Amino acid sequence: MMLTALRSRGATKSTREIPIVNETVLVVDDEERIRSSLRGILSDEGFRVVDTGDAPSVMELIHREAPSLVLLDVWMPELDGIELLRRIKSETPAVPVIMISGHANIQSAVAATRLGAADFIQKPFSVNGLLASITRALDGGGTAALNAAPQAPAPLAHIPHHGRSMMHQRTIAHPIVLGGQGLHTGLKTGVILHPAPVDFGIVFSSLSDESAVPVRIENVTDTGYNTTLTSGSRSVRTVEHLMSSLHAFGITNLLIKTDEEVPALDGSAIEFCRHIRQSGVAEQEASADPIRVRDKLLIGEEGDGQEYIAAERADHLIIDYTLEYPKPIGKQTVHFELTSAAAYMEQIAPARTFTFVGEFRKLTEMGLGGGGRLDNLILVDEQKIVNTTLRFPDEFARHKVLDLMGDLYLLGRPVLAHICAAKTGHSDNLALVKAIRSQLAN
């Protein structure tokens, strides 16, 4: 079952005609004004609404009324909403539960989702956000669940196709939940990845669905020590590792709920990849033209010891990267060809981010690097690697390839090109991405 329309805050009618759905929704909230508001909204949408502020009676109501969905407040005076969620999922696991809270954060959302919640939304929520969440829950998280998602971007601008290679748009087959700590903010954070429909694009969103940050080149606002996206007053830091994983799997449509920073996990992309592989990738009934570089592009000046990044025509993504730092890192070169997600998981995804002890102090003074720990980055002093054993002899250069693939995916489509880069970072990557877009527009 799917809702066929959404309403903006304060609207009195849906934007399109909605059939009477005759589905029962159980609303559990100790505030009468919240229950009254939800009764009105959901009744207008064709739902039969049962509500209660009495948490201990919920299981009896579920067995008697057989609701298709439960909206459950986290903070209940007689029985904690999380404990009630456990009971519901234990006794009636097939009934989807959406948690609602006025004091939520992404960690709470991650915890509730791991216990089986279909979604987690914040008060005050918009009508659009609420109905989009209900749509996903009743659809079971399938690829059609976000057809009318709130504040989703318009369909991605068409990128001209210069070549014969074609691919399908893709999303994940099932929702994914990951918790951790932000590398730069140091705050506990997490991500909840939802399947998204054709032409949705990749969008970062708040828990309330009211502030969306689409993945677009023009939304990049910082490339100093990470890639940050901003739209309006909302920013999301350190998106590059997750974006790199999406590039490897060719995921083109995805809703990502998070706070202000994507979790660092172990400093690499391997955990993102493992969860995507476990979820499965769903090919969709629409094409996605891969992005082909037609003519050679060059940022900087090619030559031994120079900082530059260049791209030219190729049938798949090939990256040759040269990194050069003082010892103990030295000069490293990596050749990688993206022939499959498996190749990426084996050769690139495990490579962790790194920093020098002196640089780490500088980041701390700037208010960054607060989440840097001994288990989520490689820490280097003037003589040795301080905290870990390398996963590859050239792990530093491989991580640069990881970052580059993430930044390339700001284009929203897999890139087919042979890229050569030396001594570059996020700002150089962004310059190349802009040059590729400019070339395709001509």
Catalytically active residues are: 426
Task: Judge contact between 371 and 188, C-beta under 8 A.
Answer: no
d(CA 77, CA 267): 40
58-82 exposure pattern, b = at least 16 Cβ within 10 A, e = fewer? beebbeeeebbbbbbbbebeeeebb
d(CA 353, CA 325): 15
What are the distances in angstroms from CA 295 to CA 288, 289, 307, 327, 409? 21, 18, 20, 37, 19
Residues 6+ apart with CB under 8 A from 102: 75, 122, 123, 124
170 sits in which H/E element: strand 167-172
Q: Is the peptide bond before 328 cis (omega within 30 degrees of 0)?
A: yes
Query: Three-state DSSP class for 230?
Result: strand
d(CA 50, CA 222): 47
Residues 6+ apart with CB under 8 A from 344: 245, 248, 273, 338, 405
- Looking from the CA of 179 toward its CB, the CA atoms found within 13 Å total 11
If you write DSSP's letter for every residue of 389-412 in order, what string do you get? --SSTTHHHHHHHHHHHHHHGGGS
Query: Three-state DSSP class for 328?
Result: coil
DSSP 127: H
DSSP bridge partners of 199: none
Q: Is the peptide bond before 195 cis (omega within 30 degrees of 0)?
A: no
